[in-house]
Structure 1
Amino acid sequence: MEEIYVSVEDPKHNNSKSSPGHTGTRGCDRSFHLGVIICPGMLSVFLLTGLITLGVYYHVSATNLSAESNKLSAVTEERDLLQANLTERTKELERLQSLFKQKTTCPAGWHKFSCSCYLLSKSSGSWHSARKHCTDQGADLVVIDSPNEQNFIVSITQHLAWIGLSDIEQEGTWKWVDGTPLTLKYWAPRQPDNKGSTENCVMIGYEGIHWNDGRCEASFQWVCEKQL
């Protein structure tokens, strides 16, 4: 009879054959478990880094926004100050323009020429009373210091009229009422003649456009002048 042999493998032999496969399986398992442990950690690091970055970004943005807001506030305040200053300057300019307009306008009844106002009196009187009438109105008898002014005075007078020229202080030394000596002259021919040694005051309109000396007590119209 044939004997039946049951082949029984040596456990050690079996272990030696299967151990490479088992070793590989355990290695994969360990790698898998290690990956499972490391991946969430790395994700956490990435998330934390992202959160930190966002935090820094928003902080910087907030800081910049605050700085820009402060700048805007400062600019707005400066603009308001400039606007207030401009308003004040505008009011001051308007006030000065009003004063200038008042000063460049002659009173009623006066005539404006260049930078002065002139008044031809409606009444007549002596040279001294004529001058007092002028000074009472903040003016004085006219001082003629240019050909244009001479022509203007002639244009507003139709009769003899006193002007602010005399030699009352010293005979033969003609001076204007403002103290200036006589330089520009419009004497009529053969004038001044100091007729009777009593003619110390000057009138305009003699022979139409010229000057003549006469007695200060004589009665004539007069011309006042005051600066604007």
Structure 2
Amino acid sequence: MSKEYQDLQCLQEEETSSTVSKTTGSAMKAYKMQSWATSHSSRLLYGFCCFCAVLLIVIITLIVHLQKPEVKDRSFEYQLGNFSVSVKTQVSQITQEGTRLMEKITDLETSVKKIQNDLSIGSLQSDMQKVLGTLGRLIDRVHKLQLNGSQDPVCPVDWHRFTLSCYYVSKSGYPWEEAKTRCEGFNSHMVVINNEDEQNYVFGIAKTQFTWIGLTDSDGEWKWSDGTPYNTSPKFWIPDQPDNHFGHGLGGGEDCAHLHYNGRWNDDHCSRRYRFICEKAI
């Protein structure tokens, strides 16, 4: 009996111990489940907070993005204002430049008028010189007529008379400089054309052949051989002449004037061998 009681007691103790162990295990499991639930809730809360933070950032971004057009519009307004100021500045500069240009044009018109006046004075002086020269020749002619009775002064043999001058036309061609020397040897100068009547007469005796006249720009400026002012004397150039052509293969330009076959003037290389006309007063 004692042994059975002891065995029963041991069995009860073992059952009790087993029950306690089971109870303790259940409690530990319940504690672990509670800890896991608490941890899981914390994670959910943390995730929710993160979601709220992200949502807040998205809302702020949307607000900023929605406000950007206004900024762009204001930026465009600033650019438009700057462009307007730039245009006004440029218009002001153009206006100032236009004013200065008008002043220069006015100065140029004044200079042109002055030059025209000077040319008019020079033309009058040239005309006066021509008149005085003609009067002088008429006086000489009157004196000769008084000394020689009624004899009218005549030109040398092979010379042609026109008004108060005698003209000689060469029979052969020479370079311009040699023609000038030959005229000087005749106590004359190469022909100088002072008016349209003389131009027509000289063309008539030249007989439509290329013929040197006493006009050259070998020193860079057109001059008559007797010193007659070129700028104030009449001119009978062919259109677009003189052109100082260099394509003739003779070297240099064209510095001497001659009568063309049509009677007008042309510039040519001075080495050409053309006939020439001399002129001297009666």
Band the TM-score falls in, shorter-chain normalisation: 0.5 to 0.7
Structure 1 residues 108 and 218: alpha-carbon distance in aligned structure 2, compared to 1, 3 A threshold = same
SS at match of 2:148: helix
Bigger share in helix: 2
So what's the TM-score if we normalise by structure 2? 0.44
Q: CA deviation at 1:98?
A: 2.0
Gaps of 5+ in 1: 1-92
C-alpha offsets along residues 8-65 of structure 1, whole Å, 9 cap, x if unaligned?
A: xxxxxxxxxxxxxxxxxxxxxxxxxxxxxxxxxxxxxxxxxxxxxxxxxxxxxxxxxx
So what's the TM-score if we normalise by structure 1? 0.54
Q: How does 1:92-103 map to 2 (within 5 A)?
A: 96-98=146-148, 101=151
Contact 1:164–1:176 (CA under 8 A) maintained in structure 2: yes
Bigger share in strand: 1
Out of 175, 196, 202, the residue aligned to residue 223 of structure 2 is 175
Q: Give the equivalent residue in structure 2 for 1:199.
A: 254
Contact 1:160–1:220 (CA under 8 A) maintained in structure 2: yes
Q: Distance in 2 between matches of 1:127 and 1:119?
A: 15
Q: Distance in 2 between matches of 1:99 and 1:134?
A: 31
1:209 aligns with 2:209: no
1:110 aligns with 2:159: yes
C-alpha offsets along residues 154-185 of structure 1, whole Å, 9 cap, x if unaligned?
A: 11112010000011122xx2110112222211
Structure 1 residues 121 and 94: alpha-carbon distance in aligned structure 2, compared to 1, 3 A threshold = closer
Report percent identity of matched pairs. 37
**4+ runs deviating over 6 angstroms:** none
RMSD of equivalent CA atoms: 2.0
2:227 alignment partner AA: G
C-alpha offsets along residues 178-215 of structure 1, whole Å, 9 cap, x if unaligned?
A: 122222110001110000151000001x1411000011
Out of 169, 179, 188, the residue aligned to residue 238 of structure 2 is 188
Structure of greater relative contact order (alpha carbons < 8 Å, 6+ residues apart):
1
Q: Distance in 2 between matches of 1:100 and 1:144?
A: 30
Q: Give the equivalent residue in structure 1 for 2:90.
A: none
Out of 128, 133, 136, the residue aligned to residue 177 of structure 2 is 128
Q: Give the equivalent residue in structure 2 for 1:140.
A: 189
Contact 1:116–1:225 (CA under 8 A) maintained in structure 2: yes
C-alpha offsets along residues 76-129 of structure 1, whole Å, 9 cap, x if unaligned?
A: xxxxxxxxxxxxxxxxx8984328847x20001100001000001001100011
SS at match of 1:133: helix
Q: Give the equivalent residue in structure 1 for 2:71.
A: none
Gaps of 5+ in 2: 1-142, 247-251
